[in-house]
Amino acid sequence: DAGVIQSPRHEVTEMGQEVTLRCKPISGHDYLFWYRQTMMRGLELLIYFNNNVPIDDSGMPEDRFSAKMPNASFSTLKIQPSEPRDSAVYFCASMGTALNTEAFFGQGTRLTVV
């Protein structure tokens, strides 16, 4: 398996634009997580899915953020409209089951909003 695949690796956009980050989890994994990493706040869990269903989105900072998982092999995190304070590295991770397994992370998407 190629691991968790995120795209794009880098994104630079202007304030106010819509940004869509993409993630392909490891095949057969039941869980998918979206994290945001910043210097100030570290790794924050934004939302996670179990079997394509959003379970907890309490970490999503504002209504400008939304995430979907239309099928077991694809998820998106969308920011609309984007703001400079959204600049961060966004990680997607997938996990097989909740018990006795670990999360595998993608390479991350470095988002810069200017």
Partner 1 sequence: AQKVTQAQTEISVVEKEDVTLDCVYETRDTTYYLFWYKQPPSGELVFLIRRNSFDEQNEISGRYSWNFQKSTSSFNFTITASQVVDSAVYFCALSDPLRDDKIIFGKGTRLHILP
Query: Is the preceding omega at residue 70 within 30 degrees of 0, hence cis?
Result: no
String marking each residue 76-95 x if it binds partner 1 according to CB under 8 A: -------------x-x-x-x
Q: Which two tokens stand for residue 44?
A: 């924050």
String marking each residue 36-75 x if it binds partner 1 according to CB under 8 A: ------xx-x--x-x----xx-------------------
Q: Which two tokens stand for residue 50?
A: 């179990």
Task: State the minimum distance, in angstroms, from the CB of residue 70 to partner 1.
Answer: 20
Task: State the minimum distance, in angstroms, from the CB of residue 50 to partner 1.
Answer: 6
How many binding residues for partner 1 (CB under 8 A)? 25
Task: State the minimum distance, in angstroms, from the CB of residue 93 to partner 1.
Answer: 8
CA dist., res. 111 & res. 41, Å (int): 16
Task: State the minimum distance, in angstroms, from the CB of residue 76 to partner 1.
Answer: 20
Phi first, then psi, for residue 85 (nearest 5°) are -70, -5
Q: Which helix (H) or strand (E) holds 74?
A: strand 74-79
Helix, strand, coil tally for the chain in percent (to 5): 5, 55, 40
Residues that bind partner 1 (CB under 8 A): 31, 33, 35, 42-43, 45, 48, 50, 55-56, 89, 91, 93, 95, 98-105, 107-108, 110
